[in-house]
Amino acid sequence: MLALLLSSVCFVCFFLCFAYELHKLRIKPKTYVCIAMLLALPAWDIHSIVFAFEIHFIIFYEIAKLFTIWWKGGKTRVLAIGALSLLLAGAWVGYGFYNMKHIVRREYVIQSEKQLNHNYTIAVLSDLHYPTTMNKQELAELVQQIHREQADIVLLCGDIVDEYTSMKKREEVFSLLEGLCTKSDVFYVFGNHDTGQYSFQNAISKEELRSLIEAHHIRVLEDEVACVDDKLCLVGRDDYRIHNRKSVATLLSMMPDNCYKIVVDHQPRELEKSAELKVDLHISGHTHAGQLFPLYYIFECFHLNELNYGKETIAQMEAINTSGAGGWGFAIRSDHHSEYVILKLQSTSASNR
């Protein structure tokens, strides 16, 4: 439903924008209306590269108009600005496509004074939105790359699939991710897109999706606690949109007081509260680090998320937000990079030396 609404709004906006500019070329009304409608058609597929290209074309076109407001060239001005905008949009979308596909390895070293049974390697993978930005072969290569890290724990932080993922593709992605289970304990928390709630075509109940995921030996944590051993425990939170989800305090009460406490939440929410409750590490995704320039800077300016990207220390707690290995909508990332995260958790306790 959300996608249909977005497509409808974009189609109307595209049509009006193109029709307004085309009429300046002094062509017949029927002709420019038909051309404008054809140019607006990509709005009905907001996952297409053509749609992304047209958005950027319109943005560059409008910016160029502002900088050439003094130019009274009429038809010549429209054609010149149009040609420049085509070049800029093509270059920008080309860069964004490469940047989305080029997944980097991001490593953080986390040190704790708490006693651990050993040092841990934790892999974090989030926001694939499969198959929007990658195909089966590319995902298989990513899984192999993470597999070579020999992580003790793999955390799948939600939105691995979304409202455009068919049942066949859901089976495909979790079948491939199952390969991580041979060397690692793999855990999953739900995101806001996983069940396809924004679509009436590919929606799936949370119970059905959970059964599918667990059939591939991936453990789902839905407001649940999992202790890897007696020194390290995970809290997997239900997504923030679930208003009756259990509190952090309730979940923490289910684990030993002196263990190393990790909260995994798709969205970076309630960070201050988690820090107050002596959580050691908070891990999240969801933000995509903006994905499209300049969204990250807008999010930062208006404090739209508690943590938009990267690592932040809150009291004694380390909070990490990943930009994710994919993106929503289309395979374009013009802000930050696609990534998977490797955490090296090390104890500085004398008993661990």
Q: Token pair for residue 326? A: 């994919």
Q: Return the DSSP state at 44.
A: G
Q: Which residue has the tokens 């749609």?
A: 51
Q: What is the pLDDT of residue 241?
A: 87
Q: What is the pLDDT of residue 76?
A: 87
How many Å apart are CA 341 and CA 319, to the nearest integer?
13
Read off the pLDDT of each residue in 21-25 and give the average, rounded to a whole number: 85
Please give the full DSSP string across 193-227, using - where no structure is assigned. STT-TT-SSS---HHHHHHHHHTTTPEE-SSEEEE
Q: Which residue has the tokens 């003094």?
A: 70
Domain ranges of the chain: 1-100, 105-347
Read off the pLDDT of each residue in 271-299 and give the average, rounded to a whole number: 96
Q: What is the pLDDT of residue 114?
A: 95
- Residue environment code for 96-133, b if the CB has 16+ CB neighbours within 10 A, otherwise e: bbebbeebeebebebebebebeeebbbbbbbbbbbbbb
How many Å apart are CA 296 and CA 29, to the nearest integer?
40
Q: What is the pLDDT of residue 112?
A: 96
251 burial level (CB within 10 Å; 0-12, 13-18, 19+): buried
Each residue's pLDDT tens digit, 36-89: 999 999 888 888 889 999 999 999 999 999 998 888 877 888 889 999 999 999
Dihedral sign computed on CA atoms, order 249, 255, 261, 266: negative
Q: Is residue 187 a contact partner of residue 217, using CB atoms and an 8 Å limit?
A: no
- Residue environment code for 166-204, b if the CB has 16+ CB neighbours within 10 A, otherwise e: eeeebebbbebbbbbeeebbbbbbbbbbbbbbbbeebeb
Q: Given a cut of 60, is residue 195 above it in pLDDT? A: yes
Regarding beta strands 281-284 and 310-314, do their DSSP bridges make them parallel or antiparallel, or are they unpaired? Answer: unpaired
Q: Residue 318's beta-bridge partner residues?
A: 281, 313
Predicted structure pTM score: 0.91
**Residue 242: how many CB atoms within 10 A of its CB?**
14
Q: What is the pLDDT of residue 203?
A: 82
Higher-pLDDT residue of 2, 285? 285
CATH architecture of 105-347: 4-Layer Sandwich (3.60)
Sheet strands side by side (includes 338-347): 103-112, 338-347, 120-125, 153-156, 185-188, 219-220
